[in-house]
Structure formats: C-alpha cells, structure tokens
Amino acid sequence: MKKLIGPFTQIIPLTGMPLKGALKDEQLHIVPQGGVLVEDGLILAVGDFEELRKVHPQVQVEEIEGEHVLLPGFIDCHTHICFAGNRAKDYALRIAGKTYLEIAKAGRGIWDTVTQTRAADEATLTQLLVQRASRHLSEGITTIEVKSGYGLSLEEELKQLRAIKAASTQTKAHLVSTCLAAHMVPKDFKGSQQEYLDYVVNELLPLIKKENLTNRIDIFIEESAFSADNAMVYLNKAKRMDFDITVHADQFTPAGSVVAVVAGAVSADHLEASGEGEIRLLANSNTVAVTLPGASLGLGMPYAPARKLLNAGACLAIATDWNPGSAPMGDLLMQAAVMSAAEKLCAAEVFAGLTYRAATALKINNRGILAQGMLADMQAYPCTDYREILYYQGKMKPSKVWTADLNDF
C-alpha cells in the first residue's frame, strides 16, 4: 500500500552529493514543506507534500504534526555491541592515569570482555544485542554494523555470529555482521600470531561460509594485537575466500591504514594516529576512512584527523565504536557533533559521514539518501532548521524513526 508521509518543514535528502572530499552546507538540497511517498518499504518520490497529495489523491496519508526536519536514517558502520558484562574497572584505571596498552598488558582490556562474553549463552547475547540495537534505533540509527571478536575460539566466535544473526530477526534495525576473530591472540591459544590466524582461516572461516553468518572480515593491527605483515597475509587469504575486508587501523601507531589500502579493504577504521602520508594514501584510494570519536572520548585521545582527511579528498564516515572498553557511550549523534566542533566539520560533512558515506563503508547502496528506489529508512527531528540538530550537540533526538517496514518508534 502506498503511503504519503509529511509535511516536514525541511527534508534533507542528501542527494547529488559527492562520495569523497570536503563539502559545504550550500551543497545541501533542501525540500521545504516536503513529503515522502513510500510503498512496500521503498521510496517512490520525495517532493512538495501538497503536490504529492494532489497527484496521489487516494493515497494513505500519515500526517506529521508540528515542525520537523527529515533526514535519512543514520548508519553506524563500526560497533562491537554483541558482548556481555562491562569494563568499568578498566575505565576507572584509565581516568586514574593508566593507558589502554598498559591495562591490556596487565591482563585486562579486551580479554576481560572475552571472559565475560564466553560465560554468556547465545540467548543472553542475543537479548543484550537486541536491547542495544533498539536503543540505537530509537536515536535514529537504522543500520548497525556488529562485530564478533569477544569469543576468540571457533565455538565462541560462532556463538557471537549466531547471536547477531538471531538478533537481526528481533529488531527493526538492519544489522550487518562482521567477523573480528582477529581481535587479539587469545591467551588460551598455544601458538604464534600467524598460527592463530591460520587457525581462523582454516577452521573458522569455512564454517562461517557454510552457515552464511557474514561476508565481512576485520583485523586489529596494533602492538597489542596483530602485526602488519601477519595481517596482510590473513586479509589476502580472506579475500580469496570471497570475504569483504576491513581493518582496525592506526589507533595508537600508524601501519594499519597502509595494509588496508594495499589489501583493498572496504574501510580503514580509527585513524587517530594517521599522519600526512597515511592521509594521502587513504585519500587516493577507494578505502573509506572511518573515524570513531567515541573511542577518542573514552580513551582521552585526540580525534582522527577528519578535517585533513576530507581536505585531502578522502571518503569520511563517522561511527561509534560502541564497545564495553574504549567506547561505552554509544551515542552516535553526540559523538559526531562534538568531533565536528573540534575538527571543524560542517553539517553537510557530518550528515554525509553518518549516512551515504557510512553506507559505502559497508558496501550498501540502497540507503543513506532519500530518493526514489531507496529504502524508507528515515528520522524526523522536532525543529525547523537542520542546523539545530548539531547545535544541540546530540541532546536533540529524533521524535520519529521509520525503517523500511514503515513502522515508526
């Protein structure tokens, strides 16, 4: 059944915008007093509300009362929200002066969450994930990437990926799974980095293929995780198995972004330690640069060089890194708004990084803009001008959220 939704004081469809490089707010197309015509979860038209109603006099109308600005649903292209427990003790150590790497070397960090997640059964992980996805959805995030990586054994990684698959049937948010079995070498694995990665390739990845649990593979390249050389071998093997690849890159030291670009990764995520050479390399590639301001806030670190990446011509996305250790907040809009003030990103650049550019980081081409043929994933904010959304630094949340099934929250 066709439905006309509106009128909206402004619709910001984000159509006609470039995929890479810096943007200006003047490039934003604004539809005043607009409406969206939808059918079977797809957008048929975006335009003047009264004109659409005249052309489609028999259509069902969902009247929007009051002033609202409509945006595409946000896309969080990097999260770790399939986990159990918390790391409040780690956070207390960090704000008392310990570094992330010092905490990891002392036996806490990621391994603490691995222990807590292993102790939870699949049903519990599914329930926790659905709760977090539902909170995200209520805040306008309609597509959420979710990583494994807190199992770090064959059965435990499968448990996480199965929980993500199960959760996707219990939430109206779209979930995109990623295997991060290469998060670190588990402490109970008797062997080297390379031997662990070979174990993942030979034992785990074929089962993931068999169960159709994900087509995405990630690896953490860092002192506390995997070397650039070992990561390159692993990623090339995963590519030969027809997995898309992404990389945790340049969080504390540069190296990962080079691997990401050379290996042809869809995205390089983090980039807080990226220098001028890494910025140029990313800008001249098809690898999306994913910034994670939540990790910077959680760790008390500088932001990734978002302004320099955009000026150099990179495709820049913004995600939460929502995880129990370094980024426990999980508030995408607040994090993006605060980073935009520090890095001097205009509204167009922020909204692009949260929508169609984030969709590119997931190799998804049917969402992120409001246009004919796209999924009807949308969110409406209770204001008269799109600039108010970032002005309130994440405090303003959407009053209505629609996903492609046309149910709002």
Residue keyed to tokens 């969902």: 62
Q: Residues 304, 309, 310, CA angle at the centre, nearest 5°?
A: 125
> Is 382 within a domain?
yes
How do residues 66-115 score in pLDDT, each as one tens digit? 999 999 999 999 999 999 999 998 889 888 988 877 887 777 888 999 99
**Does residue 371 sit within a domain?**
yes
Identify whether 51 is part of a domain.
Answer: yes
Q: Tell me, yes or no, whether 409 lies in a domain.
A: no
Q: Which residue has the tokens 């997931």?
A: 362
Residue 42, in any domain of the structure: yes
Do residue 231 and residue 187 come from a single domain?
A: yes
Mean pLDDT, to the nearest integer, of 340-362?
98
Q: Is the pLDDT of residue 22 over 70?
A: yes
Q: Are residues 164 and 226 in the same domain?
A: yes
Alpha carbons 56 and 5: distance in angstroms, whole number: 12
Residues 112 and 208 in one domain: yes
**CA nearest 84: which of 47, 129, 42?**
129
Is residue 409's pLDDT more than 70? no
Q: What is the pLDDT of residue 94?
A: 86
Report, as an integer, the average pLDDT of 349-359. Answer: 98
| CA separation for the pair 14, 173 (Å, rounded) | 21
> pTM for this one?
0.96
- Cα 159 from chain centroid? 21
CATH number for the domain including 176? 3.20.20.140
The CA-based angle 177-179-184, given to 5 degrees, is: 140
Residue of 182, 173, 176 lying closest to 161 (CA atoms): 176
- Asked if 197 and 166 sit in the same domain, the reply is yes
Give the per-residue pLDDT at 102. 82
User: What is the chain's length?
Assistant: 409
* 105 shares its domain with 162: yes
Q: Beta-strand (E) ranges in 243-326?
A: 244-249, 267-270, 288-291, 316-318
What is the predicted pLDDT for the residue at 406?
59
Straight-line distance from the first to the last Cα atom of the chain, in angstroms, rounded to the nearest whole number? 20
Task: Give CA angle at 99 (292, 337), nearest 5°.
Answer: 25
Largest CA distance in the chain: 70
Cis peptide bond N-terminal to 7, omega within 30: yes
Structural domain containing residue 7: 2-72+367-402
Whichever domain contains 45, its CATH number is 2.30.40.10
- Name the domain count of the chain: 2
Mean pLDDT across 153-179? 97
Query: Among residues 269, 397, 271, 286, which one has the least CA distance to residue 322?
Result: 269
Same domain, 129 and 175: yes
For residue 266, count other CB atoms closer than 10 A to its CB.
Answer: 21
| Strand intervals (E) in 30-127 | 31-39, 42-48, 60-63, 69-72, 74-76
DSSP state of 204: I
Percent of the chain residues past pLDDT 90, beyond the cut: 92
Residue 135: pLDDT above 70? yes
Provide the 10 A C-beta neighbour count for residue 102: 13
- Confirm whether 407 is domain-assigned: no
Q: Say whether both 140 and 252 belong to one domain.
A: yes
Task: Say whether both 164 and 95 belong to one domain.
Answer: yes
Instruction: For residues 251 and 345, state if they share a domain.
Output: yes
Rounded to an integer, what is the distance from CA 203 to the centroid of its chain? 28
315 and 337 share a domain?
Answer: yes
pLDDT of res. 408: 58
Strand partners, 205: none
Q: Which residues pair with 364 in a beta bridge?
A: none
Closest CA to 327 of 290, 361, 301: 301
Q: To which residue do tokens 């002033």 refer?
A: 67
Residue 32, strand partner residues: 10
Contacts of 128 (CB under 8 A, 6+ apart): 82, 83, 84, 120
Shared domain check, 31 and 135 = no
Dihedral pair phi/psi, residue 37, rounded to 5°: -95, 125
In b/e form, how buried is each residue of 312-345, taking b as 16+ CB within 10 angstroms?
A: bbbbbbbbbbbbbbbbbebbbbbbbbbbbeebeb
Q: What is the average pLDDT across 380-385?
A: 98
Bridging pattern class, strands 216-220 and 174-182: parallel
Tell me, yes or no, whether 210 lies in a domain: yes
The tokens 């998060």 sit on which residue? 183
Residue 254: the pLDDT is 95
408 in a structural domain = no
The contacts of residue 291 (CB under 8 Å, 6+ apart) are 270, 271, 303, 304, 306, 309, 316, 317, 318, 319, 339, 353
DSSP helix/strand/coil, 194: helix
Confidence at residue 109, expressed as pLDDT on a 0 to 100 scale: 83
Q: What is the pLDDT of residue 151?
A: 98
Q: Residue 42's beta-bridge partner residues?
A: 39, 375
DSSP assignment, residue 94?
A: H
Residues 385 and 320 in one domain: no
